[in-house]
Structure 1
Amino acid sequence: MKVVICGAGQVGYGIAERLSSEQNDVSVIDSSPRLVQAVRDHLDVRGIVGHGAHPDILAQAGVDEADMIIAVTLYDEVNMVACQVAHSLFNVPTKVARVRAQSYLKSYYADLFSRDHMPIDVIISPEIEVGEMVLRRLALPGAFDAAEFANGEVTTLGIICEDDCPVIDTPLKQLSELFPDLSAVVVGINRNGTLFVPRSHDSMLQGDQVYVITQTKRVKRTLSIFGHEEQEAGRIVLAGGGNIGLYVAQNLEARHSKSKVKIIERSRERAIDIADDLKRAVVLHGDALDQEILREAEIQDVDTMVTLTNNDEVNVLACVMAKRMGCRRTLSLLNNTSYPTFTQSLGIDAHINPRVVTLSKILQHVRRGRVRGVYPVQDGKAEVIEAEALETSPLVGKALRDLDLPDGVRIGAIIHDGVYARPDGDFKIRAHDRVIIFALAEYVRKVEQMFRVSLDFF
């Protein structure tokens, strides 16, 4: 696939890094010579210095032969115009744009991005995507990672096996015997930095980070079986009152009437603005690294502290301070991909990488075949993929135990006519079933090829 990316910042670089590693033909445009040089030096991509919406620059990047343009510059208007030019002048089939200003995204302006006006196939709003991820994590305090598939029917959970986990040292094949109501399938284990797909005779050990795929309505039961029965947060402090912080606060007010929310915002003007937009949340003007402000927020009684500032170091330190002052749980927004490796040792319970959230939405449009959803885990070491089986697929009609799947791939759930099914060796996939699969990164290309050949014909 040939892809043109406008913007070589953190998001653009991350997308280029992932797509080029999968042998896609990638060109990156940015007005900063420094950023373009960094792309050229570290990635197997073409780098072009120039304005991402200018036709001559797009032509230089080879957009006339591109299958997709992904516009993720810092400016919404540049992203939108780049897609318009790619459509009008070069007839690019798939156009993706990052749009951050919420005024463009109001429902009554939805026709703006139609084919007859400004034809953009995929709109990515980082604030909304990350905000929804934060809300999901707050609803599942026992999980360090979570993502939904199949229109919310299936959930992928990342769970840490603590020392009191009831299923430690138990072979996976015995889990169904011990817990007949367990609807989850263990699809991946991260042990001492190594991620692998377990076999039926493997057991989970203390400290393992385990990935399970389960029916969404059985999520709390699944967490309890793994020893996590934490109550959903009722008292929440948000550090950072930017677009994400405001979105989370507004939705907590709307969806959880009993929750008590406080926001710490460093800018006085911004604090006043968001206070006017909120009904019940308390807005505190101050620095999240100021212990007096944390005491004023009554951090010792807080269930979860969520740090959402634009500074990773502030987010990490604020979580550490809050935890040491008595906060029960912390969740941090982290852009730096090297930080998550030591956050657990600092007592940070979970983190969210905005680039992963953006990348997951883009990958489902890059993957070939009937792919409906993609979610990278462990910084891209593996992916959870949702795909639709067609009548011609060799997966259809065979018992799962007879399928010749690679060792690094495991089927975690199947949806037939909207109904969840936990796969076992006797289960047979039928046409139009939604299949949710966990695949290690080195097997994603094989899975994609299998889906291209078997699940989709073109």
Structure 2
Amino acid sequence: MRVIVAGAGRVGESIARYLVRAGHEVTAIDQRPELVQRISETVDLRAIVGSASHPAVLREAGAANADLLVAVTRSDEVNIVACQVANALFKTATRIARIRQQAYLDRRWEDLFARQHLAVDVVISPEIEVARSVARTLLVPGSLAVIPFARDQARLVSVRCDPDCPILDTPLRQLSFLFPDLHVVVVAIERNDRLFVPHSEDRLLSGDRAWFVVETKQQARALTAFGHEPYQGRRVVIGGAGSIGRFLVQELRNIAPQVRLTVLENDPERAGSLAEDEPDVIVLKGDARDPDLLREAGVETVDTFVTVTNQDEVNIMSALMAKRLGANRTLALVNTDSYAPLISDIGIDVMIDPRGTTVSSILQHVRRGRILAGFSIKDGAAEAIEADLPENSPLVGKPLEKGRLPHGVIIGAVLREGQYIVPRPDTVLRARDRLIAIARGDQIKSLEQAVAVRFDYL
């Protein structure tokens, strides 16, 4: 497939790198020559300097023959116009735009991006996607990430294995004997900054980050097996009332109305606006790094402190201060790549990566056909997918142990006519089974072939 990625920043580069690795012909566009040079030197693609909203630039990029345009520049207006021009002049099949200004996303204007108006097929809002991801994570004790699949019948959950984790040094094949009624499969392990898909004889070690697929209704039991006990209280303090903070408040009010919320915001206008819009939320004006303000918010007895301002340093320092004062769990939004390896070492429980969340959200809409969903793990080191198994798949009618799954691929769950099945070596797959599977980054194409799925677009 031919794809144009408009915008060569962190998100655009990640998407382009992913698509190139999947074997697609990619052209990147950006107005900043230094970014164009960098992406052309690090990714095997064609790169053009220019504005993606200009017809001549899109024509040079091959818009007339492109199957997909992904517009993720810094400007919402450029992204919108690029989609409009690609549709009107070049009939580009599918157009995805990242939109950050919430004024465009007001429900009163929900028809704005319809094909007959601005011709944007899919709108991605990073702030909304990050808020939803954070809400899922902070409502699951001990989790580092929570990704729903199959209409939330199954979840991919990531946890850190602490020294008191009950299943440390246990071969993974023994988990089914230790917990015979627990529907959980460990599908990936991060160790010493390296991610791998485990074998049945592999063991979890203290400090590992484990990724497992679990039936959603058994999530609490699975967390207990990994040493993360549920806590009773439901108090959350949020640092920042910007776009992400406001959306996080709205999301939590919708999905967890029992949670008591306190928001810290240094800007008087933002603080006043949120207090007026959300009368059930306590809003305190001040710097989230101020220990006196944190004490006033009761952070020493809070379940979770999550900080989502637009300044990494504020987020990191406020999370550290909250942890020092006694917060049970801290989450911090961090945009800077160089900070990422330090987060767990300095005592912050969860790093929120807005780029990873946005990239995964966009990739959800890149594939179609029998692949229904996808999630990028550790910047493309692995991918989790949800796919329906067609009749002509080479896996149908064979036990998994004889199906010759590619090395670096593992099936975490099988859903069949409403039944949740934990895959075992003797499990025989059937046509129309729905699979939750994980593949190492260099085996994603092999996984597609194994489930007889071709890359396709909307």
TM bracket, shorter-chain basis = over 0.9
Residue aligning to 2:425: 425
Partner amino acid, structure 1, of 2:38: A
- Structure 2 CA distance, aligned partners of 1:362 and 1:457? 15
Task: Tell me, in whole angstroms, the C-alpha distance in 1 between the residues paired with 2:92 and 2:111.
Answer: 20
1:455 equivalent in alignment to 2:449: no
Return the alpha-carbon distance in structure 1 between the equivalents of residues 60 and 126 of structure 2.
Answer: 29
In the alignment, is residue 439 of structure 1 matched against residue 439 of structure 2?
yes
Q: Which residue of 1 is the match for residue 159 of structure 2?
A: 159
CA deviation after TM superposition for structure 1 residue 456, in Å = 4.9
- Residues 179-213 of structure 1: per-residue CA shift (max 9 Å, x gap): 12210011111222222222222222222211110
Aligned partners of 1:300 and 1:232: how far apart in 2?
A: 16
User: What's the CA shift string for 1:146-187, capped at 9, x where partnerless?
Assistant: 111111111001122212211112222221111122100111
What amino acid sits opposite 1:265 in the alignment?
Answer: E
Q: What corresponds to 1:138 in structure 2?
A: 138
TM-score, normalised relative to structure 1: 0.94
Q: Give the counterpart letter for 1:370 in structure 2.
A: R
**What SS does the aligned partner of 2:386 have?**
strand
The 5 A counterparts of 1:358-437 are: 358-367=358-367, 370-437=370-437
Tell me how far 1:233 sits from its aligned partner: 5.7
Q: 1:28, 1:2 → 2: CA distance? A: 11
Contact 1:367 1:448 in 2 (8 A): no
Partner of 2:285: 285
Cα separation, partners in 2 of 1:136 and 1:368, compared to 1, 3 Å = closer
Q: Which structure 2 residues correspond to residues 276-355 of structure 1 after superposition, within 5 A? A: 276-355=276-355
> 1:339, 1:228 → 2: CA distance?
26
Is the aligned partner of 1:230 residue 2:226?
Answer: no
Over the aligned positions, Cα root-mean-square deviation in angstroms equals: 2.1
Cα deviation for residue 145 of structure 1 reads 1.6
After superposition, the Cα gap between the structure-2 partners of 1:232 and 1:342, relative to the gap in structure 1 and judged at 3 Å, is farther
Partner AA of 2:418 in structure 1 = G
Q: Contact conserved, 2:171 with 2:203, CA < 8 A, in 1?
A: yes
Distance 1:343 1:237 in 2: 19
222-231 vs 194-203, which moves further = 194-203
Separation in 2 of the partners of 1:410 and 1:277?
46
Q: Which moved more, 1:193-202 or 1:317-326?
A: 193-202
Given that 1:8 and 1:36 are in contact with CA atoms closer than 8 Å, whether structure 2 keeps it comes out as yes
Structure-2 change in CA distance of 1:232 and 1:371 (3 Å): farther
Question: Alpha-carbon deviations, 1:281-311, whole Å to 9, x = none?
Answer: 1112221222222222222122111010112
Contact kept in structure 2, 1:66 and 1:92, CA below 8 Å: yes
- CA-to-aligned-CA distance 1:379-412 (integer Å, 9 cap, x gap): 3211111111111112222111111112211000
CA deviations on 1:316-346 (whole Å, 9 max, x unpaired) are 1211111111111101112223322221111
State the Cα deviation string for residues 218-265 of structure 1 (Å, max 9, x = none). 111110111111326612111111111011112323333332211111
Aligned to 2:69: 69
Matching residue of 1:275: 275
Aligned match of 1:60:
60
CA distance in 2, matches of 1:173, 1:47: 47
Q: CA deviation at 1:366?
A: 3.7
Tell whether 2:105 aligns with 1:105. Answer: yes
Matched-pair identity in %: 46
Change (3 A) 1:450 1:338: farther
The answer to whether the 8 Å contact 2:368/2:455 transfers is: no
Task: Give 1:15's aligned residue.
Answer: 15
Aligned to 1:208: 208
Q: Distance in 2 between matches of 1:455 and 1:378?
A: 23
Paired amino acid for 1:333:
L
Q: How many residues align?
A: 456
User: Measured at CA, do residues 232 and 439 of structure 1 come closer, stay the same or move farther in structure 2, by a change above 3 Å?
Assistant: farther
**Greater shift in the superposed pair: 33-42 or 47-56:** 33-42
**TM-score computed with the length of structure 2 as normaliser:** 0.94
- Matched residues in 2 for 1:81 and 1:232: separation? 49
CA gap of 1:100–1:260, structure 2 versus 1, over 3 A, is: same
Farther off after superposition, 94-103 or 381-390: 94-103
2:240 matched residue in structure 1: 240
3-state SS, counterpart of residue 344 of structure 1: coil
C-alpha separation between the residues in 1 aligned to 2:289 and 2:108?
40
Amino acid at match of 2:8: A
Q: Deviations over 1:339-372 (max 9, x none)?
A: 2222111111112211111211222444475211
2:261 maps to what in 1?
261
How has the CA–CA distance of structure 1 residues 80 and 384 changed in structure 2, closer, same or farther, with 3 Å as cutoff?
same
| SS of residue in 2 equivalent to 1:140 | coil
The reply on whether 1:251 has 2:251 as its aligned counterpart is yes
Q: Which amino acid aligns with 1:346?
A: I
Partner of residue 47, structure 2: 47
- Contact 2:367/2:373, CA 8 A, preserved across alignment: no
For the Cα contact (< 8 Å) 2:263–2:284, is it kept in 1?
yes
2:189 is the alignment partner of 1:172: no
Task: Flag the 1:39–1:174 CA change in 2: closer, same or farther, 3 A.
Answer: closer
The letter of the residue matching 1:65 is N
Q: 1:343 is matched by which residue type in structure 2?
A: I
Q: Which amino acid aligns with 1:318?
A: S
Q: Distance in 2 between matches of 1:230 and 1:349?
A: 16
- In structure 1, how many angstroms separate the alpha carbons of the residues matched to 2:114 and 2:291? 49
Indicate the residue corresponding to 2:186 in structure 1.
186
After superposing the two structures, state which structure 1 stretch, 21-30 or 120-129, moved more.
Answer: 21-30
2-side partners of 1:418 and 1:382: how far apart? 27
Distance 1:195 1:30 in 2: 32
Q: Note the C-alpha offset of 1:23.
A: 4.1
Change (3 A) 1:38 1:194: closer
> Is the 2:448–2:454 contact (alpha carbons within 8 Å) kept by the matching residues of 1?
no
8 Å contact kept, 1:139–1:232? no
CA–CA distance in structure 2, aligned partners of residues 180 and 331 of structure 1: 33
C-alpha distance in 2, partners of 1:111/1:118? Answer: 9
Q: 1:456 to 1:16 in 2, by over 3 A?
A: closer
User: What is the CA–CA distance in structure 2 between the aligned matches of 1:110 and 1:289, rounded to whole Å?
Assistant: 38
